[in-house]
């Protein structure tokens, strides 16, 4: 009779409804009855989870947290809860074991036997239990162990086999149930990676057992699995490359790093040729993964450069240029920023592959968006993108400036070293001079960081190319310089602006003529010239005076 009762779904539902009772004792007894049911009938755990058992456990766990003054009822409830939680935690490895067993028995088979079909139908529908437990703050820290992650990775390997058609379970449980099983399995890992601390101690297990099948699923014919696995990969690798490891785990970390590197180099990157030309949002997720990889690790940066992906990434840029504030373009710009900021980057190769023209186009478009006073839409996003692009430009110019400086030093010392590399780089970078006239209107930006980086970029540009751009001292830009020189109070900023002006007018006759007729700018210079009362100002006054003398004032 008792055996019949614990098989009765209505009875289980009735017991779970008692968990809404205001009486602590009734709720405690209900938890005990459920424990008894689950000990003798594991299948009822799925029904219980669907009937919000985990939510009831979480609610009463908060009420019986140690440290709170517990009445005898609460103490009894706490003990009953602990027994139930412990049983469910111990039950999960057995459930995973049954699922793994069922999948292992049909692995590589197109036509499972009747016994195997029955086993699949009984075990695979229990996978949602895993999702219920890993999304619970009570169960998650207790169930996510090394053994759990190993089992999970093995299930993913079976899914890879199912997805590739090597194993066929659609005939056994139906296409819908098969897809639901895959979706729930992937969702469980998505829930786990929201809590990076859980993975910190199991880095090797994740790299060796979970990432390889995820990488394989990137090749899936099913767009949903392809997207899902790309998203999980980008978020997981981002966590792994950002985590710091202590307590003697450095060696394990180095081993897992080399395994991760091999996996990405040998299996993932060769697929990118096809992935990047797929319809949105596939390229956005694929690029996000590259951004995560290149964020902190120069090895991955070199890998991306050597994989000949840069021209493809530039093609993606051209295809998405109309939606410059979209996710794909944001990922492209973040990736380019990581590449040019890396000390070991092969900048000349990036220049030869078209970096200069793409940065010119992207900066022009983004700056135009930011300078459009009528458009208040997406202003913050455009400003963030503009800053990233200026950061890229600054890295490019700093690199070129460094190479030119070395060439000049070699020339002076007569070491006979070839200056061809510097000349080639200057020639490749010459289109960047088109940005001079655009950088000046960005200087009055209310964000001091934009002024800072724009002025630095402009300063290096005029050092390298002089007043090459005929529009850099247009009447509008002259007014901007006049306004900035009178409104900026920091002598360092004034000095930088004056040096830019001096270089422009001493390297281009046309700019010198423009300045002779620029009343407001001459006035601003006259205000700065006589003030030499302090040491700080004494850096500014001689420069202002020198410019005035150059124009005959």
End residue of a domain, out of 137, 161, 192: 192
Cα 185–chain centre separation = 23
Per DSSP, helices labelled H in 243-326 are 250-263, 272-275, 282-294, 298-306, 310-319
* DSSP secondary structure code for residue 374 in this structure: T
| CB atoms inside a 10 Å sphere around CB 205 | 20
**Tens of pLDDT, residues 260-298:** 888 988 999 999 988 998 888 888 889 988 998 888 778
Helix (H, G, I), strand (E, B) or coil at 68: strand
Q: What is the pTM of this model?
A: 0.81
DSSP string, 484-550: HHHH---HHHHHHHHHHHHHHHHH-HHHHHHHHT-HHHHHHHHHHTT--SSHHHHHHHHHHHHHHHH
Q: Considering the domain boundaries, does residue 274 fall inside one? A: no
The pLDDT value recorded for residue 152 is: 97
Nearest alpha-carbon partner for 271 in 239, 210, 230, 224: 230
8 A C-beta contact, residue 450 and residue 438? no
End residue of a domain, out of 176, 192, 208: 192
The pLDDT value recorded for residue 116 is: 93
8 A C-beta contact, residue 120 and residue 173? yes
Packing angle between helix 448-465 and helix 420-429, nearest 10 degrees?
130
| Residue 366, CA distances (Å) to 136, 157, 329, 330, 370 in order | 43, 44, 11, 12, 6
Q: Considering the domain boundaries, does residue 253 fall inside one? A: no
User: 503 lies in which domain range?
Assistant: 473-553
Q: Considering the domain boundaries, does residue 392 fall inside one? A: no
The pLDDT value recorded for residue 60 is: 92
Q: Considering the domain boundaries, does residue 503 fall inside one? A: yes
Q: Considering the domain boundaries, does residue 514 fall inside one? A: yes
Q: What averages of pLDDT result for each successive group of 10 residues across the chain (553 residues)?
A: 72 93 94 93 92 95 63 84 97 97 93 92 96 96 96 96 92 92 97 90 92 93 92 88 54 68 89 88 89 84 87 90 87 94 87 93 91 70 92 95 89 75 90 93 90 95 89 87 87 90 86 78 80 58 83 73
The pLDDT value recorded for residue 245 is: 44
Q: Considering the domain boundaries, does residue 152 fall inside one? A: yes
Q: Considering the domain boundaries, does residue 264 fall inside one? A: no
Whether the ω angle into residue 183 lies within 30 degrees of 0, i.e. cis, is: no
Per DSSP, helices labelled H in 107-244 are 114-123, 127-134, 140-143, 146-163, 170-173, 175-192, 203-205, 211-217, 223-242
End residue of a domain, out of 192, 223, 258: 192
The pLDDT value recorded for residue 8 is: 80
What is the C-alpha separation between 317 and 254, in angstroms, rounded?
A: 34
- Count of domains for the chain: 2
The pLDDT value recorded for residue 230 is: 92
What is the C-alpha separation between 478 and 504, in angstroms, rounded?
A: 12
8 A C-beta contact, residue 340 and residue 395? yes
Q: Considering the domain boundaries, does residue 461 fall inside one? A: no
């Amino acid at each position: 009779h008792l055996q019949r009762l614990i098989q009765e779904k209505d009875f289980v539902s009735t017991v779970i409804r008692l968990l809404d009772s205001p009486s602590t004792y009734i709720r405690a007894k209900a938890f005990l009855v459920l424990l008894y049911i689950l000990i003798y009938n594991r299948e009822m755990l799925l029904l219980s989870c669907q009937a919000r058992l985990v939510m009831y456990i979480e609610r009463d766990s908060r009420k019986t947290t140690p440290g709170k003054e517990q009445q005898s009822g609460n103490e009894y409830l706490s003990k009953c809860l602990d027994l139930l939680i412990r049983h469910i935690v111990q039950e999960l490895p057995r459930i995973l074991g049954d699922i793994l067993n069922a999948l292992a028995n049909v692995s590589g088979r197109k036509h499972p036997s009747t016994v195997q079909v029955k086993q699949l139908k009984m075990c695979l529908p229990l996978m949602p239990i895993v999702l219920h437990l890993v999304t619970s703050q009570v169960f998650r820290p207790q169930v996510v162990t090394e053994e759990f992650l190993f089992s999970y990775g093995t299930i993913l390997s079976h899914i890879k086999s199912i997805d590739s058609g090597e194993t066929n379970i659609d005939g056994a449980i139906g296409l819908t149930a098969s897809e639901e099983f895959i979706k729930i399995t992937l969702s469980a890992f998505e829930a786990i990676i929201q809590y990076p601390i859980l993975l910190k101690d199991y880095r090797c297990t994740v790299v060796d057992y979970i990432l390889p099948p995820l990488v394989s699923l990137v090749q899936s014919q099913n767009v949903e699995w392809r997207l899902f696995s790309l998203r999980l990969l980008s978020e997981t690798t981002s966590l792994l490359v950002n985590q710091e490891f202590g307590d003697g785990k450095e060696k394990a970390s180095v081993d897992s790093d080399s395994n991760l590197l091999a996996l990405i180099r040998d299996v993932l990157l060769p697929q990118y040729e096809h992935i990047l030309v797929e319809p949105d949002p596939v390229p956005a997720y694929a690029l996000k993964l590259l951004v995560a990889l290149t964020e902190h690790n120069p090895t991955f940066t070199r890998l991306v450069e050597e994989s000949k992906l840069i021209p493809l990434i530039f093609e993606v840029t051209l295809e998405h240029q109309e939606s410059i504030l979209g996710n794909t373009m944001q990922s492209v710009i973040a990736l380019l920023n990581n590449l040019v900021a890396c000390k070991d980057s092969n900048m000349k190769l990036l220049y030869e592959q078209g970096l200069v023209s793409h940065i010119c186009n992207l900066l022009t478009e983004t700056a135009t968006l930011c300078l459009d006073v009528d458009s208040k839409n997406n202003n913050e996003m455009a400003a963030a993108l503009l800053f990233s692009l200026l950061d890229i430009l600054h890295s490019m110019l700093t690199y070129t400036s460094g190479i030119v400086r070395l060439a000049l030093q070699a020339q002076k010392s007569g070491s006979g070293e070839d200056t061809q590399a510097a000349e080639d780089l200057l020639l490749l970078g010459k289109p960047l001079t088109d940005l001079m006239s655009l950088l000046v209107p960005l200087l009055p930006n209310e964000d001091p960081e934009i002024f800072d980086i724009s002025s630095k970029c402009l300063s290096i540009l005029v050092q390298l190319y002089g007043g090459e751009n005929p529009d850099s001292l247009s009447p509008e830009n002259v007014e901007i310089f006049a306004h900035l020189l009178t409104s900026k109070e920091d002598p360092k900023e004034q000095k930088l602006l004056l040096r830019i002006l001096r270089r422009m007018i001493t390297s281009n006759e046309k700019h010198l003529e423009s300045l002779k007729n620029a009343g407001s700018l001459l006035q601003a210079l006259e205000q700065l010239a006589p003030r030499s009362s302090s040491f700080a100002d004494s850096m500014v006054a001689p420069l202002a005076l020198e410019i005035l003398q150059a124009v005959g004032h």
